[in-house]
Amino acid sequence: MAVKTVLEAVREAMREEMQRDERVFILGEDVGARGGVFLATDGFLEEFGEERVIDTPLAEASIAAVAIGAAIHGMRPIAEIEFADFIWPTINQIVGEAAKVRYGTNGQLHVPMVLRAPQGGGVRGALYHSQSVEAFFAHTPGLKVVNPATPYDAKGLLKSAIRDDDPVIFLEHKRTYRLVRGEVPDEEYTIPLSSADVKLEGEDLSVITYGLMVHHCLEAAQTLADEGVSVEVVDLRTLRPLDSETILESVRKTGKALIVHEDSKAGGIGGEVASIIGEEAFEYLDGPVTRLAGPEVPAMPFSPAMEAMYMLDSDKIADAMRKLAAY
């Protein structure tokens, strides 16, 4: 198996799916000649041509609308939004239209499209290049929402998303693009969109997380292991639908649950996970279901010092682990 970055895994998944299925095409700002703002589609224009790699105007609502129309007519578009911070113009198209098509037509039509967007902080992106948008879409029935943490997961989940017959929001933390490396099989594989993954097994405490935070949680878990506390780290991978069984199996084993995400706490994914645990595993708990999340401020600050205060890291997570483990 070759070692790849998350960005390389994303690029490889799209290339292989375009080679496998001529219905797959890419559209978005700068995806063609430039190869994408992060070079996720580097070389695609030369390989697949301008009919399947389409540079669009700076018009996110139109990008989403074209993708929806193409999907309804039998294509499998991958629409790229350069930064998740600019995904808001697509809300009416994605939430108001794409999510409802299968239901509204009694299954006669469906929308097999992927909306890719890099998101997250820690890259000095400030107010308009650092947002986490997953909770807005995960609230919507009819959508699937994916947020991978590793190259292996990114490739397998993206392939499944492209082949899925319903709209998928595929969010990639841009800090993982080049910093996170891992083994990726040479042979064909996919990962079901409804499956969480236990990244580290433990006995004393369950940590449920996703995206960039998976790596910080694993580092914090090692710190706690050195202190005699065995931490289990569950990577959700897919935020809608959530893999309730994996979450509950872990919490029933350890009796304690810490939910970690970069996004702000109120209305976030952590609240939904906490509700699942409270409703289905209450009698197994030996301590309060705890959430550790970003602060309740409107946006990521520009100052490097303030950004560091905003972002969670392994030290902050380790402190939360210690507090919960002490119950």
Active site residue 129: yes
* 14 contacts 41 by C-beta, under 8 angstroms: yes
- Residues sharing a CB contact under 8 Å with residue 163, sequence separation 6 or more, in sequence order: 17, 76, 112, 190
Spatial distance between the Cα atoms of 319 and 322, rounded to a whole number of angstroms: 5
Q: What three-state secondary structure class fits 289?
A: coil
- Residues sharing a CB contact under 8 Å with residue 305, sequence separation 6 or more, in sequence order: none
Strands (E), the chain: 2-5, 24-28, 53-55, 76-80, 114-119, 144-146, 168-173, 181-184, 197-200, 205-209, 231-235, 238-240, 257-264, 290-294
Spatial distance between the Cα atoms of 213 and 205, rounded to a whole number of angstroms: 16
Spatial distance between the Cα atoms of 19 and 26, rounded to a whole number of angstroms: 12
**Residue 215 gets which letter from DSSP?**
H
Spatial distance between the Cα atoms of 166 and 162, rounded to a whole number of angstroms: 9
3-state DSSP helix/strand/coil % of the chain, to nearest 5: 40, 20, 40
Catalytic residue among 129, 215, 216, 261: 129
Spatial distance between the Cα atoms of 107 and 102, rounded to a whole number of angstroms: 5
Q: Which residues are catalytic?
A: 129
